[in-house]
Amino acid sequence: MKKICINLAFLAFLLTFHISQATASDFDVIKKRVIANLLGQDVPDKAVETMVNTIKPDGTWSHIDYEDVSNEGFQHSEHAANMVTMARAYKKKGSAFYKSKKVKQAITLAFKHWVENDYICKNWWHNEVGTPTNLVNLMLLIGDELPKDLVEKGQPIIGRAHIDGPGARPGGDRIKIAGIQAKNMLFTGDLQTFNEVIRVIENEIKSVEWIGREYGYTFKHHDGGFANRSAGGRGIQYDNSFHHRTDGVNNTLSYGMGYADAFIEWAVYTAGTDYAFSGEKIEKLVDYYLDGICKTAVFGKYPDAGKKNRSISRPGDLCSYSAKSVENLLKTTNYRRRELQEIADIRNKGIKPTLSHATFFWNTEHFTFQRPDWFTSVRMYSTRTHNMEVPYNSEGLLNHHRGDGANHISRTGDEYYDIFPVFDYQMIPGATIMQKESLPPPNQIQKLGQTHFVGAVTDGTYGAAALDFKSPHDPLIARKAWFFFDDAYVALGSGISCTQQLPVVTTLNQCLLRGDVILSTEGKQSLLSRGEKKHDNVDWVFHDGIGYLFPQKTSVGLQNNHVTGSWWNISKQTSTDKSPVTKEIFKLWIDHGKRPSDELYAYIVVPATTPEKMKRLRYENHIDILMNSPEIQAVKNKDLEITQVVFYRGGEITINENLHLSSDNQGIVMVKMKEGRLAEISVSDPSRELNRFNLSVSAKIDKQGENFQTAWNADQGTTHISIALPQDNYAGDSVTIQLN
């Protein structure tokens, strides 16, 4: 018996030893992968030569300001990046500086200067993310060849990137900081801590409950600062958007991209090892990437200008996305592989997307709509969300109105590329704005929405969005709605009222001028010369493949000429270019006059069209505007047999001579007919107040479902339909019922 026990103990020892060895082997595999990735980037030989030749004996570069550690400054980050660039040149075979003693000496000088001065920026991000990232990459590339005393002095600086550090709050920062710490553990050889950090990264891939979903009241109970270590609504939302902070602002294409990229990076590094992430977590990330990031982007390739925040004040912010992240995801899973491959091909090969979608991010009040030839979005906010990101670090200084129903439209994805230094920030595409002499100060940009009826209805392919708008900046109100179909969408506004004696305008678009502008007035087309002018009795306007059709003759303002501005107007970073920027701009708007009262507008946007098609549409329009009042806004597409209705309060609408629709409550309804018979109804509750949606139709329906009941009233000739609405984390989402 004793011998058996000894043998069992020995077997247990062997098993533990084997696992330990396997883990150590995997650890080395991962380290090699990380270093290989660092070396995979190109080496800019000329830049390296300049760095080496211009470094001073004290390890500094004369063009860098080492005194300014402000949020807007901290050029020290260039110093830190230079060290990594030189290290890559030194270690990469084939580089002109491979194993160069002069380069190694320059690296040592620069690193010695850094650790002896330990520069601290007033912006915490540099201290806990930016600087540690550069230094840990430096260590992995060349740390084993640098003086040990300098390496030891560098460890506390790298160590500021720590999962228990102040900046490692749940959401976008935590996963980045954990990744830096994991790399440092690879360098120091700490297997145990490395494993702990990898598990932290893996467990960050999850949906979090939005703290503002109950009318925003819970905002006051949550601190979004460094002291708050709970999620507090930060991270992937249940609608697949991303919140970086507790303000409800959509950060999907900024922090949310970095969040996904950090996880993808470590999913690839750890693939096939004992440290690999679970299939469940990988699939969750794929869902977020495809249904969140890609459905927010134009064709999954270009950033949606309407979704961007303060980063629009950085040149190149709207450049197309690389396929690298998608290609890396494909290395880790076969889940939704065809969709991932299509995004990779769209980004690499420029193919057209096959996916048509209508997507509403109900925790973020953002709607996107895509067809293979065009993409558009609507940015809104409510009592549950703030309108815009705070202008941190003096960026995005004029963004006050960019959430006020912004409606950007794209055919190519680059219609707004670097337009923002010359942009008129009181003429946001889609928004209705009071025209002031100047915008309020930047510290007045972020505001909590003042109305709760904000949302959309969608069946995944078609949809409508609505905004009960009350400006937090101006004494202005309006009811605004958008109705989306395959080849066009309708924008309606009603109840537009302002108590100040200033003009109010609704802007149809403001984008880069591309080619001719053609205008039709009372059936007569004209090619417009450059300039800015008011035009009366307009039927339609055409520019850059997009048509703007007016169901009733409308007076519009139109500009198509040069505009001069500066990046410095919207960003006060020390690196910001202050020189004048001139671009050609197309701008189209409707002027509601000074101090309007109960004004309205209606226009149809026809993307991917021609002047010839616009001329025919004037007479052959297949879209009917059924109602445009402060109570009900409704549109019918006769070809698709789809009617979309926004009920700001209960009411009735006539869809055709045989079908009337009434709602007992406020909400948004989409009705689909098939060969004249009622086939499908989609509903949503933008207010998030209802448990059930109650409506009636003048048709006999005896079908029941798991989430709806019907009751025929023979005396009235109507069927009452009661539909269960999504609740809790899905409140604001749509539900669709099949009737035929």
Q: Which two tokens stand for residue 581?
A: 């920027």
- What count of residues does the chain have? 740
What DSSP line would sit under 46-69, residue for residue?
HHHHHHHHH--TTS--TTS-SS--
pLDDT at 5 over 80: no
**pTM, two decimal places:** 0.94
Average pLDDT, the chain: 95
Q: How far apart are CA 697 and CA 547, in angstroms?
A: 35
Q: What would the DSSP string read from start to end of 341-360?
A: HHHHHHHHH-PPP---EEEE
At 616 the pLDDT is: 92
Mean pLDDT of 336-346: 98
Q: What percent of the chain has pLDDT over 90?
A: 92
pLDDT score of 695: 98
pLDDT of 1:
46
| pLDDT at residue 18 is higher than 80 | no
Q: Which of 96, 77, 187 is nearest to 139 (CA)?
A: 187
* DSSP notation for 647-665: ESSSEEEEEETTEEEEESS
Structure-block tokens of residue 302: 């270009």
CA distance 143 to 136: 9
Q: What is the pLDDT of residue 15?
A: 42
pLDDT per position as a tens digit, 560-619: 999 999 999 999 999 999 999 999 999 999 999 999 999 999 999 999 999 999 999 988
CA dihedral 618, 620, 622, 628 (to 10 degrees): 40
The H or E element spanning position 481 is strand 476-484
- Cα 537 to the center of its chain, rounded Å: 38
**pLDDT for res 171:** 78
pLDDT-derived band at 96, boundaries 50, 70, 90: very high
The mean per-residue pLDDT over the stretch 238-265 comes to 96
The mean pLDDT value for 35-56 works out to 96
Residue 100 to residue 596: CA distance in whole angstroms: 72
The whole-angstrom separation of Cα 519 and Cα 548 is 10
DSSP string, 229-243: -S-TT-EE-TTS-EE
Query: Residue 22 — pLDDT band, cuts 50, 70, 90?
Result: low
What is the per-residue pLDDT for 533?
A: 97
Render 404-465 in DSSP notation, one character per residue: SSB--EESSS-TTTT-GGG--TTS-TT-EEE--SSPPPGGG---B-S-S-EEEEE-SSSEEE
How confident is the model over 51-95, as pLDDT tens digits? Answer: 999 999 999 999 999 999 999 999 999 999 999 999 999 999 999
- Tell me: the pLDDT tens digits for 361-401? 999 999 999 999 999 999 999 999 999 999 999 999 999 99
Q: Which two tokens stand for residue 336?
A: 């939704």
Burial classification of residue 13, based on how many CB atoms lie within 10 Å of its CB (0-12 exposed, 13-18 middle, 19 or more buried):
exposed
How far, in Å, are 532, 555, 625, 649 from residue 521 at the CA level? 17, 10, 21, 37
List the alpha helices (DSSP H) in 98-228.
101-117, 124-125, 131-142, 148-158, 172-188, 191-203
Assign 7 a pLDDT band (cuts: 50, 70, 90): low
* Percent above pLDDT 70 for the chain: 97
